[in-house]
Amino acid sequence: MTRYYNKQGGIYRSRDGVFLGVCKGVADYFDFSVFWVRIALVIVFIFSGFWPMIGVYLVAAFFMRPEPVRPIASEGEQEFYDSYVHSPRSAAQRLKKKFHDLDRRIRRMEDKVTGREYEWEKRFNS
């Protein structure tokens, strides 16, 4: 079982849960069986009524972040995931800037390799 945590020990919604992944996310976080978390949810649902429990469940689903698609390997990946969850637009802008910088570097390398000086230097060194 792969568990996903953020720096503050946060909790994530499971991507493979039955309905929005709240119960599976809570079970994974507290290392409980999903079955018992769902049974507890049904018991609370029976005793509290339909609308309060549905409201709490939907609020939990809204505030819990979805788990990452793959395990987070580094601090940089964690920062990016946190920034994406809080602001997808700024994360997309960061990616766009990073790819723009990489594109510029590749163009400079292509210009160097395809230039006349490179060809003369290559002939001179061989």
pLDDT for 69: 63
Cα gap 15→3, rounded to integer Å: 12
pLDDT digits (tens, 9 = 90+) for 24-40: 888 888 888 889 988 88
Q: Which residues contact 38 (CB under 8 A, 6 or more apart)?
A: 23
pLDDT digits (tens, 9 = 90+) for 110-121: 888 787 777 777
CA-CA distances (angstroms) from residue 2 to 68, 70, 85?
Answer: 11, 9, 20
Cα gap 106→126, rounded to integer Å: 25
pTM higher than 0.75: no
